Every structure is written in structure tokens, then in C-alpha cells.
Amino acid sequence: MRRNADLIFTMSKPGRRCADLPPMDVPETTLSDRFQRKEALPLPEIAEVDLLRHYMELSRRANGVDNLFYPLGSCTMKYNPRINEDLAALPGFTDIHPLQPEHTVKGALEVLHLLETYLCEVTGMDKITLQPAAGAHGEWTGLNLIKAYHAHNQDFARTKILVPDSAHGTNPASAAMAGFDIVSVPSNPDGSVDTNALRELADEQTAGLMLTNPNTLGLFEKNIVELAEIVHEAGGLLYYDGANFNAIMGLVRPGDMGFDIIHLNLHKTFSTPHGGGGPGSGPVGCKEFLAAFLPAPVVTEKDGDIVFDDDRPESIGKVKAFYGNFLVCVKALSYILNLGGDGLKNASEMAVLNANYMMEKLKSMYTLPYAGPCMHEFVLSAEQLKKETTVSALDVAKGLLDYGIHPPTIYFPLIVHEALMIEPTETESKETLDEAIAALSEIYQTAKENPAFLHEAPISTVIRRVDEVGAARNPVLKYDHR
Amino acid sequence: MNIPNDYFYSKSHEWIKFLDDTTALIGITDFAQSELGDIVFVNLPEVEDTIEVEDSFADVESVKAVSDIYSPVAGTVSKINEELFDSPELINESPYDAWLIEVSDITEKDDLLTAEEYEAFLSEEA
Amino acid sequence: MARYVPHTEDEVKTMLEEIGYSDLEELFRPIPQQVRLKTSLRIPNGLSEWEAANAVKEMAAKNTVFPVVLRGAGAYKHFIPSVVKHIASREEFLTAYTPYQPEISQGILQSIFEYQTMICDLTGMDTSNASVYDGATAAAEAMKMCVDKKRHIAMIAETIHPQMKKVLETYARCADIKILYIPEKDGVIDLAFLESNITKETACVFVQQPNFYGQLEDTAKIGEIAHSTDAKYILSCNPISLALLNSPGEVGADIAVGEGQPLGMPLSFGGPYLGFLACKKALVRKMPGRIVGQTTDLDGKPSYVLTLQAREQHIRREKAGSSICSNQALCALTASAYLAAMGPIGLTETAKLCFQKAHYFAAELTKIGFVSPFKGEFFHEFVTSCPSDSGKVLKALEEAGILGGLPLSNDLAGHILWCVTEVVTKEQMDQAIRIIKGVMA
């Protein structure tokens, strides 16, 4: 067993130093007493070597794509190429001020412009903003475009956003945050959007429909053309949630399917790392007729020069300071240059192949509620298994931890009970998939023979299952220095 | 399943206990708390808020879910059970004592079920 | 061309065969032909890693990196200890997802718990979340936390960062929040206006300290006025300044937010940065985003876990206070490594160096006729007039590798907002003065 990872505060000794600073080389003046901090500042006081060891110990207790197979559905945990990190760390990118004169940041503008151009091409959109910091932020930005469009048309009755019942939680949350009412659209027995229900729900109050395609079940919405027509005929706009974009690069484009607005997750599809929860980047693209509403400034070509255009009277305003998570954009551009158009298409093809391969091998054990072929991910159900053995989706997930595999997304989408949502991504080899399939088969057998073992899992991790109820009832959210 | 006789019930699993003709306590039933699991927090309305029949006036949180609580009556919130902010587990431990709100000046009532009717409703649902 | 895809051609064939497909195309059967992309993407074919790297390096080389930076205005160049970068680039942190599985994510969860503690210690608040996108969106989220059925007016200081204003306006419009700006007077907000316009409908009073002009607001007095009508008091603060200046807790703030970039993040052309958001205990359930709590595992071992999740979008869906999902976790980790590397002594020294050097430079500028239009005290930023053409002055500095202050517009057209941090030496400031004198001569 490893030693415990003590909190950094417990290692603190008064007067101990790590960083040193440049000398004071100017005469000193004083700050008025009334502005001066009186409260103690109990930051850790720790030597550099111990600081490093502390974080090394924490890193040993963390797991990324570099540590293990991470088939976390809807999260696209593909390999993050190292070259992207190297390029984003170039001083020419890290050491430039966001308010430098434009002529001194021509390279940065080129990065933004080139990335926009490529993202437009791969999505079939006309214009893109890189300002949103993450997927949900992009959704909310996109919804603001919808709002601005209807307001521009003096069409103030359009207060409703249609959201399928299988959608990501961020969809309704972002729509509500943008000031819309949410109308849930039911799914067909085959997992696709119920076109008849949509036809009934779409009316003169419909501002738009948010759709993920492939949907959260990993299935392509076959009726997409009809869905788009229904919404457009009712006067609404079509929003594409790009969480599942890794399935379709170079194969089909949201713009060609009838979508008016999209967001992408650069930290999913375009391989920029998740960083334990962020930073991400959530570019928003739109068709030309919505471009005037994009957040200011936009990057544009003017007399052969790439410039910022901040004169955008119809813009929805700003959604974030400056221009977005710029270094994340550098990483995504590096990825696209490395893969190229052909490589992007190949990535999607292999992602879809890997998912179908795993699905076919697992569906005899775990229930496949909606038949394939799937796209880049698929959803199994442990409902039957639970009935037979008491082993739930959570138990299966925890069991996988003992095999050194990151569990799938569980209990989502909500329309599948005991859901196990698996997204292998294209960067995993057949051997890795076979190992995961073998692990899930063994867990299935264990469930039948010794369910109690799985209720107790995991047993090999640094801690066992945690008391989440206690954590929520009596929240301890910081260290008590006393 | 515990279903006391001196309470009335709604199909969305709230109980209501009348203190007089126009004042009542509202809580959630034993069935509701067992479905929700360990309750970790309760969001309650403010005193003097007015509520309508079938309004969602509160919600209760478990670790992985949140459920709206609907009012079976129309009236004015006259008290809230502040004890639940610190001890939401009381709802799990003793659902018929752990009232959420007291409503006064009740002007309208939904079709309320008696204990017997609620029991029948539960067995139908199952 | 780099593919990062391990499949050999034979393997693709075997895999397809094993699952009963004749070719890849068959897998894409569910996509209707009428929408399928019939041509190749108009994106050049993939480059070798070496070529791609060169292409990107060429772009980087087109940017000017200024050795001396006298410009702040929301993005600050500070010393970043080498150890901080090494910690934040550990692959286990870099390539992990949000820590949904506590058993294999204790390291990330603990680092967030430590971050939350340090942010609380800096700000004097009770609780911090795990971060939001940046300082401007932190401000917007804080504003939203304060609004309820009875209070829908946000009184915002006219003296905050202009970009923050624009972000607040976008968020306010969505949430039907009415913004009432508290006008500027002598470089700080007009307290008389605040006092006479605050009502029972005021949800919050929002102030930035130091403000956009670098001036110090009377934060204690503002807190008293805000609380006179039970409005919430939000302070947006520069985290480095907090080693020297009153903590938001000391002046009665209910919520403290700010741009965490100065805590170990390079300028990076504006991002990724770090929005920090901390509040008093009573508001914790209104906080957006991830929060980590301490608990125990089955064996009673201390453990960390994402908690109070029922506030969030994946559970509360359209009733969630915010849709934020991904945050700036790695930037939060960077900030805590930075704060730990600095410690209380290092952070205080940094703040003092900024303060003293900025005052030295301001005094030197005054001597050559660059005077401040404001009389109040400041931290490390200040506004001056410019007796010469400001464009020419800044251009001359630029040619010497010095990024001068930010030229201001509107009422302050012709004025410059300067910033001095600990990484500017006296010699460099003296050089800047000589260059400016040269332009004026």
C-alpha cells in the first residue's frame, strides 16, 4: 500500500520557503492602513522538493488517458498527441498579451483564422466564433444566436426550445439559462426522435430544436432531413450539439443535414486534453444569415490581412473576456494539421468501427436496448443483469476499476435504465478493446456467481467506495486550519 | 408501507394533514422517501409565498436525483420546517413527522385521496 | 501524416469480418445518402509531425513577445516558478476527465479540495467552487446567484473592466436581470449615487478591487451600503493584491470572484485563464459548477468526492442555476501549485513588489508631466495623461521591446493605463522613461 496523501496544509512549517523573488530595487511607499489586509493568510509554507513530491503523490492517485483505457461515453477520451502540447507551449503563444497591438499578434490571428476555416469546412458552417470556453458555454452562446435571430425578426412569441428526452443535461440547462422554456420531445421505440410528436410540438412558439446526431444512444437520426424540415417549416432553427461529432468527420456535415448552428468540443473531438475537467473550448458555428449575431470580436479577412472586427452592432455581445481559450485552439489546430482532412475522416471511421466491434462482442451478455449499427458509441443496459443478480450498472463500473479500465458513463441517457454508455474512440487498438471485452465478460460471470464481490468493488484502488450521502448532508468543502 | 389514516394524499405522493379548515401541513409519503433514497437536501419556499394547486413549491435532493414536490392545495406558506435544512434525513427516518411547509388561508384543494384510496393507488401503480 | 490510430489494414478487415460487416461503408448505412458528404473535406492532407510543427512554429514566430510588459488591464505578466509548470504538465492531471470515479481520481479531487481551501483563505470566504471559465464569467455567475423573485436589479460599478461589463450584459439579458451602473466619480464609484439608488429590489452590488483604472474603491463603505437593503455584495478582486489588500471577507463581501490568471498562468493571448468564485456559507447551494467535499470511504479512510451535485445540470437539467460542465480544472491546479510555491511570504513579497514598483514608475512619469487624473490610492495599475501623442510614445516603447500601457478611449481618450509587476526592474522603468523623454523632446 502507498502512503497516505496528506493535505498540503499539514506539511506547512512557518518560515519555510519555495519560490524566491526578484529584489526590491525601488524606494518604498506605504499603503493606507484602511486598505491593508489584517486577516492571516494561511497558505502552505513548503520546500520545493516536498511540493513536488506532494503533487507527484496526487498524480499517482489520478488517472488519465495516458494511464488507462477510458471508454467514457459522450466524453471522447482519445489520445492527446504530445506535439499539440509542445506547440501550445511556444513562447510566441504563451507570452503574448491579449491587448497587444494587432500588428504584433499576426501569428495568433492566423491560428484563429485557420482553425475557424477548417472547423467551418468540417461542419458545413459559414462562420465560427472561438470565444466560448467549453461545450455548455457554446450551447448557451448558440442559443443566444437563436434568440437574437427571432428578436431581429420581431418574432417575440418564440420562447420555446425543443429538446429530445435523450439529450445531454447541458441542453435544457443552457436553454433555460438563455431564457427559454423547454419542451421535451419523446423518443421512438428505436431510440430516434419521434417525428410525429415533433410535428405536433413545433409551432409558432418554437424558437428551435437542439439535437445531438448521432444521438446519446450512439444512433444516427435517420430522419434528420424530415426533422429539419419540420422545425424550419414551423419557423424554428436547428441547433447541433457537437458532443458526438467524433462519429461523423468527413462523412456527413451538420450544415448539410440542415443545422443552422453548431458547437464543437475541441477537448473531445479535436484531441485537446480534458485536464481533469478543463480547460476546454466550445467553438460555435453558424450559417451566414446568423453571422451578424456572433459574439464580438470576430476574426475576419480585410484587404488580404487577418484582423479582429469589433464593430458588430447586431452581436449578442461578449460571452467571455478576450478571444476564448486560445492555447486550446492552438492544440486543436496542430491536431488538424497533423491529421489533415483524410486523417479526420479516418479517425471517425475507426471510432465507429471500434464502437461496433465492442457492441457486437458484448450484446450477448448485457442488454442492447436499441439495435445498431451504432456510430462512435453505444449504450448497454444492466437492467436485466440487476434483476437476475442484483448487480447494477454502478457495480459493473466499479468492477472495471479493478481491471485497470476506466468505467463507461453510467445512468445516462436517462431513457435507458441501468445504462452503460461506452465510447472506445479511434485511438485504441484491437488488443485494448479485446482486454476490455474480456474484463466485462468476467464481470458478467462474477455477477452470476458471486454478486457480493461486485457490490464491494473496487478492492485494488487507493480508497474504496465513498460515503456520498455523508458528503452531501454535512458538506466539508475546505480544510479547517484550526 | 406506512400510510396513516388521519392524513390525505396526492397521486404525486405528498401527504397533507389539516390542522383546521384552512390550515394544513404538507410532506412527502413513506413511499416517496423510499423511492428517493437518502435525502441530502431540501429546497423550501419562503414564508408568505403564495402557492397554487399543483405548483412545484419545493424540491428534495438525493445524491444523484432531485424531485419536485407539488402542492395539493392553494394558499399561503405560513411556516417552513427549517429543521430540515440541517437534518434532511428526518424525511427518511420519519416521513409523516417531517413536514415541509404549513399552508394557511387555503382556498382550493386538489382531489385528495384518503389513506385507503392512496394504498389502492400504490398497489395499482406497482 | 500522423493518425494516432493503431489499426493495421488487416486488423480493420478482421474486425469487420468478426462482427459481420463486409466493409466500412456498411457501418455508415444509417446515414441517409442524400446528406452524406460525397467529396473529400477541403482540408489539406495530413502533414508529418515535423512539417505540422514547423507550420505552427512559423505562426508563433509572427507574434511579438515583449521582454518588458507595462500593460495589464485584465491580464498580468508575473513570475511563474518553474516547478509550477512541471506540476501542471503531469499527464495524469492533463489527460484525465472530470473526476466522476472517486476511487481512481483521489489525486485530482484532493487537488481541487486544496484549491478550494486556498481560494477561501485568500478571499476570506467560506466556500469555493472548483472554478469557472474566467473572471468575467465568474462575475456573471455571481450576479445570477443573487437574483430571486423579489430582487432583479444588479448595481454594477462603472469602474469594472469593460470586457467584464460586456459579459455581464450578455448574461443579464438572458436572465432578465436589470443592470444599473453606478457611475464613476474621481476614478472610483460614486458612493452617493449608490446610496440613493439602492433599493429592496437591488439583488447585488458588484465592484472590482482594484478597479479597472487601478484605483482602490472604498470597499468597506460599499459593503455597508449594500447590506443596508440586504442586497448581496460581490467583489471581483485581483488575487495577487489580496496578499496586501483587505480580503473580501474583511469588508463584508458575500461573494468573491476574480480572474485567477495572475496565479501562475502565462498571458496566453487571453486564455485559458481561471475564474474563481467563492462565497459565504449561506449561498453555497446557489454556487454553479463542481464542488469537492471531504468524506470517508467504506473503511473510514478520508476521501474526496464531487458533492452537492444536485445543483448541477446533469441532475437538475433546465432548473439548474448554470449549465457549466467543463471548467478550468488544470488552471485551478496551476493556481494552487503557484500559491503553495509562493506561500504567504512569497505572495506578500510579490504583491509588495508590484505595489512599490508601480508607485516608483508613477512618480517617475509624474516628473515628466504624465499626471494621474485621479487622486485615490492604487495597487499596481494607474492612469496617467500623456502630454505627447500617446500613439508615438507607445510606438517608441514598442520598438525598444517594451509593451507600454493601454491607451484609453472615451472620456479618458489620450490617457494611458499602466501596470507594473514584480518582473519589471527599476532599470527597465528608467529606460522606458528615457525613451518617452526622447519622444517628447
Helix C135-146 × helix C162-174 angle, to 10° = 40
Q: Closest approach of chain A CAs to the CA of B62, in angstroms?
A: 8
How far is it, in rounded angstroms, from Cα C174 to Cα C319? 15
| Maximum distance among all Cα pairs of chain B, rounded to whole angstroms | 38
pLDDT mean across residues, chain B:
92
Let me know whether A293 and A144 are in one domain: yes
Closest chain A C-alpha to C200 CA, distance in angstroms: 24
User: Do C254 and C363 lie in a common domain?
Assistant: no
Tell me which residue range forms the domain holding A166: 83-338
Question: Is A116 a domain residue?
Answer: yes
* Number of CB pairs, chain A paired with chain C, less than 8 A apart: 688
From C81, which residue of chain A is nearest by alpha-carbon distance? A19
Edge to edge, what strands does the sheet with A419-422 contain? A378-381, A419-422, A409-410
User: How far apart, in Å, are the Cα atoms of A439 and each of A103, A421, A425, C195?
Assistant: 56, 16, 18, 67
Mean local confidence (pLDDT), A303-310: 94
d(C-alpha C300, C-alpha A398), whole Å: 18
* CATH number of the domain that residue A364 is part of: 3.90.1150.10
Residue contacts between A and B (CB atoms, under 8 Å):
14
**HEC assignment per residue over chain A:** CCCCCCCHHHHCCCCCCCCCCCCCCCCCCCCCHHHECCCCCCCCCCCHHHHHHHHHHHHHCCCCCCCCCCCECCCCCCCCCHHHHHHHCCHHHHCCCCCCCHHHEHHHHHHHHHHHHHHHHHHCCCEEECCCCCHHHHHHHHHHHHHHHHHHCCCCCCCEEEEECCCCCHHHHHHHHCCCEEEEECECCCCCECHHHHHHHCCCCEEEEEECCCCCCCCCCCCHHHHHHHHHHCCCEEEEEHHHHHHCCCCECHHHHCCCEEECCCCCCCCCCCCCCCCCCCCEEECHHHHHHCCCCEEEEECCEEEEECCCCCCCCCCCCCCCCHHHHHHHHHHHHHHHHHHHHHHHHHHHHHHHHHHHHHCCCCECCCCCCCCCCEEEECHHHHHHHCCCHHHHHHHHHCCCCCCCEECCCCCCCCEEEECCCCCCCHHHHHHHHHHHHHHHHHHHHCHHHHHHCCCCCCCCCECHHHHHHCCCCCCCCC
Q: To the nearest whole percent, how much of chain C has pLDDT over 90?
A: 94
B85 close to A (CB below 8 A): no
Higher per-residue confidence, B1 vs B68: B68
* Amino acid occupying residue A118: Y
Nearest chain B residue to A473 by CA: give it. B40
Chain B residues touching C308 at Cβ < 8 A? 41
Nearby residues of C441 by Cβ (< 8 Å), 6 or more positions away:
none
Beta-strand relationship, A237-241 and A261-263? parallel
Give the best residue of C286, C295, C308 to mutate against chain B (max B CB count within 10 A).
Answer: C308
Tens digit of each residue's pLDDT (9 = 90 or more) over C93-127: 999 999 999 999 999 999 999 999 999 999 999 99
CA A114 to chain CA centroid, Å, is 22
Q: Does B68 touch chain A (CB under 8 A)?
A: no
Contact check, Cβ <8 Å, B88/A473: yes
Q: CB of A208 within 8 A of CB of A175?
A: no
A205: CB partners within 8 A, 6+ apart: A157, A158, A159, A160
Number of domains in chain A: 3
CB contact under 8 A, A473 and B89: yes
Q: Is residue C299 part of a domain?
A: yes
CA distance B87 to chain A (A): 8
Nearest to A338 by CA among C6, C37, C43, C89: C43
Q: What was the pLDDT predicted at B125?
A: 78
- Domain termination residue (choose one: C338, C356, C377): C338
* Contact criterion met (CB below 8 Å) for C270 and A321: yes
pLDDT on residue C79: 98
Neighbouring chains of A at 3+ CB pairs under 8 Å are B, C
| Interface contact B43, partner C, CB < 8 A | yes
How many angstroms away from the CA of C97 is the closest CA of chain A?
A: 4
Which of C309, C338, C367 corresponds to the end of one domain?
C338
User: How many other C-beta atoms are found inside a 10 Å radius of the C-beta of residue A414?
Assistant: 14
Taking the Cβ of residue B41 and every Cβ of chain A, the question of whether any pair is shorter than 8 Å is answered with yes
Domain co-membership, A51 together with A141:
no
The total of structural domains in chain C comes to: 2
* Cβ–Cβ under 8 Å, residues A209 and A221: no
Q: Is B40 in Cβ contact with A469 (below 8 Å)?
A: yes
A233, A296: one domain: yes
pLDDT at A4: 67
Residues of chain B with C-beta less than 8 angstroms from the C-beta of C319: 59, 66
Which chain A residues touch B63 with a CB distance below 8 Å?
468-469, 472
User: Which positions in chain A touch B88 (Cβ < 8 Å)?
Assistant: 473
- Condensed to tens digits (0 to 9), the pLDDT of residues C158-213 reads 999 999 999 999 999 999 999 999 999 999 999 999 999 999 999 999 999 999 99
Cβ atoms within 10 A of the Cβ of A6, count? 12
Q: Phi and psi for A201 in degrees, rounded to 5?
A: -80, -30
Domain containing residue C215: 82-338
**Mean pLDDT of all residues in C146-162:** 96
Question: How close does chain B come to C330, measured CA to CA in Å?
Answer: 25
Q: What is the identity of the amino acid at A217?
A: L
Contact C315 B66 (CB under 8 A): yes
What is the distance in angstroms between the Cα of B62 and the nearest Cα belonging to chain C?
7
One domain, residues C186 and C307: yes
Give B-chain residues touching A473 at CB under 8 angstroms.
38, 40-41, 88-89
- Rounded CA-CA distance C269/A325 in Å is 9
- Average pLDDT of span C407-429: 97
Q: What is the pLDDT of residue A2?
A: 47
In a domain? residue A294: yes
d(CA C344, CA C266): 21
Chain C residues inside the 8 Å CB shell of A115? none
Query: C308, B41: Cβ pair inside 8 Å?
Result: yes
Based on the fold, state whether residues C114 and C207 are members of the same structural domain.
yes
Return the C-alpha torsion angle C414, C415, C421, C426, nearest 10.
Answer: 80
- Structural domain contains residue C38: no
Query: What was the pLDDT predicted at A414?
Result: 86
Contact residues on chain B for A472, CB-CB shorter than 8 A:
40-41, 61, 63
| Chain A: closest CA distance from residue C256 (Å) | 15
| Domain co-membership, C183 together with C291 | yes
pLDDT at B110: 83
- What is the ipTM metric for this complex? 0.97
Residues C72, C176, single domain; the answer is no
Both A94 and A43 in a single domain?
no
C353-381 pLDDT, tens per residue? 999 999 999 999 999 999 999 999 999 99
Q: Which of C291, C146, C308, C117 is nearest to C231 (CA)?
A: C146
**Which residues, in sequence order, are bridge partners of residue A252?**
C36
CA distance A342 to A474: 53
Q: Are residues A290 and A380 in the same domain?
A: no
A257 vs C contacts (CB less than 8 Å):
35
Chains in touch with C (≥3 Cβ pairs < 8 A): A, B
SS3 assignment, position C296: strand
What's residue A1's pLDDT? 38
* Inter-chain touch C325–A51, beta carbons under 8 Å: no
- Reply yes or no on whether the pLDDT at A190 is more than 80: yes
Provide mean pLDDT across the span B56-79. 92
Nearest Cα residue in chain A from B87: A473
C185 and C314: one domain? yes
Q: Within 10 Å of residue A47's Cβ, how many Cβ atoms?
A: 13
pLDDT score recorded for residue A191: 84
Mean pLDDT calculated for residue range B115-123: 94
Residue A266 in contact with residue A74, Cβ under 8 Å?
Answer: no
Looking at residue C2, its pLDDT comes to: 57
Residues 6+ apart with CB under 8 A from B123: none
Does C233 share its domain with C107? yes
pLDDT given at position C138: 98
Cα separation values, A63 from A50, A290, A433, C325, C426, Å: 22, 41, 18, 19, 46
**pLDDT of A3 over the 70 cut:** no
Residues A181, A93 share a domain: yes
Domain termination residue (choose one: C281, C304, C338): C338
pLDDT at B1 over 90: no
Please state, in angstroms and as integers, the Cα–Cα distance from residue A391 to each residue in A57, A452, C100, C257, following that order: 33, 8, 20, 44
Which residues of chain C have a CB within 8 Å of the CB of B43?
285
Average pLDDT over residues A3-22: 91
- Note whether A278 and A196 are same-domain residues: yes
Which residues of chain C have a CB within 8 Å of the CB of A465? 103, 297-298
pLDDT of residue A408: 98
> How many other C-beta atoms are found inside a 10 Å radius of the C-beta of residue A450?
13
Whether residue A73 lies inside any domain: the answer is no
CB B60 within 8 A of CB B12: no
Q: Is the peptide bond before C239 cis (omega within 30 degrees of 0)?
A: no
Same domain, A309 and A177: yes
> Is the CB of B63 less than 8 angstroms away from the CB of A411?
no
Round to whole Å and give the CA distance between C430 and C438. Answer: 12
Which three three-digit cell numbers place residue A76?
471522447
CB contact under 8 A, A472 and B64: no
Average pLDDT over residues B98-114: 93
Q: A368 and A257, same structural domain?
A: no
Distances in whole angstroms, Cα of residue C317 to Cα of each of A176, A414, A434, C277: 9, 12, 36, 22
C271:A7 CB<8 A: no
- Residues A238 and A260: beta-carbon distance below 8 Å: yes
**Domains, chain B, with CATH or none:** 8-125 (2.40.50.100)
Answer yes or no: is pLDDT of C249 > 60: yes
Band of residue C1 on the pLDDT scale cut at 50, 70, 90: low
The pLDDT tens digits of the residues spanning A233-275 come to 999 999 999 999 999 999 999 999 999 999 999 999 999 999 9
Alpha carbon separation from A384 to A189, A368, A391, A450, C216 (Å, rounded): 18, 10, 9, 16, 64
Cβ-Cβ contacts under 8 Å, A469 against chain B: 38, 40, 63
Is residue A203, in this structure, part of any structural domain at all?
yes
Least confident of A45-49, A137-141, A341-345, C1-5: C1-5
**Do B41 and C319 lie within an 8 Å CB cutoff?**
no
Instruction: Report the percent of chain C where pLDDT is more than 70.
Output: 100
Contact residues on chain B for C310, CB-CB shorter than 8 A: 40-41, 61-66
The pLDDT score that the predictor gives to residue C416 is 98
* pLDDT recorded at residue C312: 84
Q: How many CB atoms lie within 10 A of CB A223?
A: 17
Any idea what the CATH number is for the domain that residue C217 is in? 3.40.640.10
What CA–CA distances, in Å, run from A165 to A194, A198, A228, A399?
10, 12, 17, 29
Contact B64 A411 (CB under 8 A): yes
> Residues C334, C353: one domain?
no
Listed by number, the residues of chain B in 73-112 with a beta carbon closer than 8 Å to a beta carbon of chain C are none
